[in-house]
Amino acid sequence: MNNKTQKRELSGSASRTKQEYSRILTAAVINMQFRQLLLTNPGKAIEAGYGGEVFALAREEKRRVAEIRATSLADFASQLSQVLDYGMAVAAGD
């Protein structure tokens, strides 16, 4: 696999992860019960999904999200952004 192909795959993976993180935050915004679970037990919230939908995250992404400790959705979103940045840096080999 050449470098160009690897970059394209990383870009696609990052895009899917961003989309899943967006879905998680959207569910938290529209549903107070999901939001409370996400803030108190993010791992359980991710595993449970929302509205019959599952969140398609890799095991390592789920682990990093489950480690977030936040008291507000804004704080959670900020930490989630940091998790995404870290994951992209690791995937890029930085």
- Asked whether residue 34 carries a pLDDT value surpassing 50, the answer given is yes
Q: What is the pTM of this model?
A: 0.81
Chain-wide mean pLDDT for the chain? 85
pLDDT at 84: 83
6, pLDDT greater than 60: no
Q: Could you tell me which residue, 5 or 58, shows the higher pLDDT?
A: 58
Query: Quick one: average pLDDT of 6-13?
Result: 51
Higher pLDDT: 70 or 16? It is: 70
Nearest to 26 by CA among 62, 59, 51, 63: 51
Sorted by where each begins, the domain ranges of the chain are 3-92
Q: What's the pLDDT band for 9 if we cut at 50, 70, 90?
A: very low
